[in-house]
């Protein structure tokens, strides 16, 4: 589906706002001081679980491993009622059809990485074929990586055009654009890459592939949320956010939700507009939900290892 040229006209990205890194870090730290108790905590934990993209992206992935992950996505904890499913299962394009069949009519999305994930080092025509293959196999969402080499070389129009081309190749699938913030170096570059991705048609902007450290951090996510807010005020178009990698504890995930609510508002507090790319987070959230419901922690071996 082609996008309106007027909506996605290329602005001067050199004019992206400068970011006060110390200020961003200080503001982000304030969200970690909030205390969430009892019913609000349980509701928050359920919301976090419902926002997780369970992910397996390894060379040793098999049909059986993907099917097991899909079962967990549908049945996070068989012994505890009223637990929501996760948002999506994310796999390589070659595993999309397996995941799609295993998830059936559960309502859980199938996401697929594409565009020479995780490096992004491939010609554009290869990236487009990779994307179209994933979509034709049944992917509801595509997670692409930007060409960071071109970005660092200052070739912002190249990055813009490539994202726009991948968005067109996605057809009706939603596009998450991975900035790989751990390689960008400065908050100014994070903001500029966020602006490029959104103006080029991204449905989500995402911090990381999970293959580079540091991955998601609260200050970086704050800068990206503020970019989404400014873009929304300018265009009226909502864009989603996905911090990925480095979020393994429920308490930290709840702090992220507080930050999203205060920066963007409650409209973004659904899995349509906010996701966690953190499979290891799921078990900790489940452990905390069981604790809130029963008053007792279950041992880690009560939960599957993915």
When pLDDT is cut at 50, 70 and 90, the band that residue 1 belongs to is: very low
pLDDT digits (tens, 9 = 90+) for 199-219: 999 999 999 998 888 899 999
What is the CB neighbour count within 10 angstroms for residue 107? 9
Q: Does residue 150 carry a catalytic annotation?
A: no
Determine the Cα–Cα distance for residues 131 and 117; give it in Å rounded to an integer: 11
Does the pLDDT at position 290 exceed 90?
A: no
Tens-place pLDDT, residues 228-241:
999 999 999 999 99
In the predicted structure, residue 5 carries a pLDDT above the cut 50: no
Examine the residue annotation and report whether 5 is marked as an active-site residue of this protein.
Answer: no
Residue 301 pLDDT: 54
The closest of 297, 235, 224 to 264, measured between CA atoms, is 224
Instruction: Quote the pLDDT of residue 12.
Output: 77
Share of the chain above pLDDT 70, in %: 92
As a whole number of angstroms, the distance between CA 281 and CA 177 comes to: 21
- pLDDT at position 147 is 96
- pLDDT tens sequence across 151-194: 999 999 999 999 999 999 999 999 999 999 999 999 999 999 99
Catalytic hit among 127, 167, 176, 206: 206
Model pLDDT for residues 77-87, shown as the tens digit of each residue = 766 778 899 99
- pLDDT (0 to 100) of residue 303: 58
Mean pLDDT of 122-127: 96
Catalytic residue, candidates 53, 143, 195, 284? 143
206 is catalytic: yes
pLDDT 10s digits, 9-19: 567 777 788 99
Q: pTM for the full model?
A: 0.91
CATH 3.20.20.70 fits 46-292, yes or no: yes
In this predicted structure, what is the pLDDT of residue 204?
A: 98
Spot the catalytic one: 41, 132, 242, 284. Answer: 242
- The confidence score (pLDDT) of residue 2 equals 41
What is the predicted pLDDT for the residue at 39? 74
Kindly state the average pLDDT of the residues 117-144. Answer: 96
The whole-number average pLDDT for the span 293-299 is 68
């Amino acid at each position: 589906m082609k996008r309106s040229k007027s909506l996605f006209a290329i602005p001067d990205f050199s004019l992206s706002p400068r970011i006060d890194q110390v200020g961003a870090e200080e503001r982000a730290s304030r969200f970690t001081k909030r205390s969430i108790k009892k019913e609000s905590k349980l509701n928050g934990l359920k919301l976090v679980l419902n926002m997780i993209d369970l992910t397996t992206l390894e060379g040793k992935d098999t049909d059986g491993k993907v099917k097991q992950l899909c079962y967990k996505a549908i049945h996070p904890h068989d012994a505890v009622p009223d637990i929501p499913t996760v948002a999506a299962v994310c796999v390589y394009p070659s595993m999309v059809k397996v995941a799609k069949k295993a998830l059936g009519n559960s309502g859980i999305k199938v996401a697929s990485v594409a565009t020479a994930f995780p490096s992004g080092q491939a010609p554009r025509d290869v990236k487009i074929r990779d994307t179209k293959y994933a979509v034709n196999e049944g992917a509801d969402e595509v997670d692409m990586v930007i060409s960071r080499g071109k970005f660092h070389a200052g070739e912002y129009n190249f990055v813009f055009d490539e994202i726009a081309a991948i968005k067109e190749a996605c057809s009706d699938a939603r596009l998450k654009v991975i900035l790989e913030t751990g390689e960008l170096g400065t908050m100014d570059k994070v903001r500029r890459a966020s602006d490029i991705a959104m103006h080029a048609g991204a449905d989500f902007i995402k911090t990381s592939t999970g293959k580079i450290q540091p991955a998601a951090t609260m200050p970086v996510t704050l800068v990206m949320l503020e970019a989404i807010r400014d873009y929304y005020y300018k265009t009226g178009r909502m864009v989603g956010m996905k911090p990925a990698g480095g979020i393994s504890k429920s308490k930290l995930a709840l702090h992220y939700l507080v930050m999203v609510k205060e920066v963007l508002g409650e409209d973004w507090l659904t899995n349509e507009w906010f996701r966690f790319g953190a499979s290891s987070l799921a078990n900790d959230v489940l452990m905390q939900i069981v604790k809130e419901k029963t008053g007792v922690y279950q041992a880690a071996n009560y939960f599957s290892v993915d």
